[in-house]
Amino acid sequence: MTVKTQITFKDFWVFYLKSSLIRFFGFPIIAVLLFIFKGFLDGDEQDIFKNASIWLLVLWVFMTIRGYFSIKKAYYSDKKIQENISYTFVEDKIKTEGETFENDFHWNTVSRVKELKDWFLIYHSLQTMNMIPKKDFTKQEIVMLRTIIKNNGVKAKLRND
């Protein structure tokens, strides 16, 4: 089975946003809660919620802008991720072919596979992975890929839909 893909900057940015929800919302909320708690301890309760909401907005805007430029830099510095890539999945290996590269790797070298709603993530190590958008698969191809992954005994978190 062969699937042709291309990851756009928009795809990359949306992936980052969805995978970073805890950072985007959790960290600023924890910071604001600490700010509120400190205000109660100091006895300065009248402007606590006003100041906290301002800080929450400032932290969220800062983190969003910082994240955007970090992701933009990461995406545009990696020319291979921007290419049209063809993935050929067979029983014992995966062949990847881009405009400037070709690579084969066997399923037994894959660390793990994680299937998200919109992506297959094929990890080679803790931080190195192939990101394959599911928008380029048919439903039958998704089922076939899940079967190949299971048959090869790869550690995987696959969806049931």
Distances (CA, A) of 67 to 20, 74, 84, 98, 117: 9, 10, 25, 27, 22
The label of the residue with tokens 């014992």 reads 92
Q: pLDDT tens digits for 7-66?
A: 989 988 888 877 766 666 666 667 666 666 666 555 555 566 666 667 777 777 887 888
Using CA atoms, how far apart are residues 154 and 124, in angstroms rounded to an integer?
11
Out of 2.30.40.10, 2.30.29.30, 3.40.50.410, 2.40.30.30, the CATH code matching 82-157 is 2.30.29.30
Q: Could you state, in order of their start, the residue ranges of all structural domains in the chain? A: 8-77, 82-157
Contacts for 68 with CB less than 8 Å, ≥ 6 apart: 13
Q: pLDDT tens digits for 124-135?
A: 988 888 899 999
Considering the entire predicted model, what is its pTM? 0.71
25, 127, 14, 61: CA torsion to nearest 10: 40
Using CA atoms, how far apart are residues 112 and 149, in angstroms rounded to an integer?
9
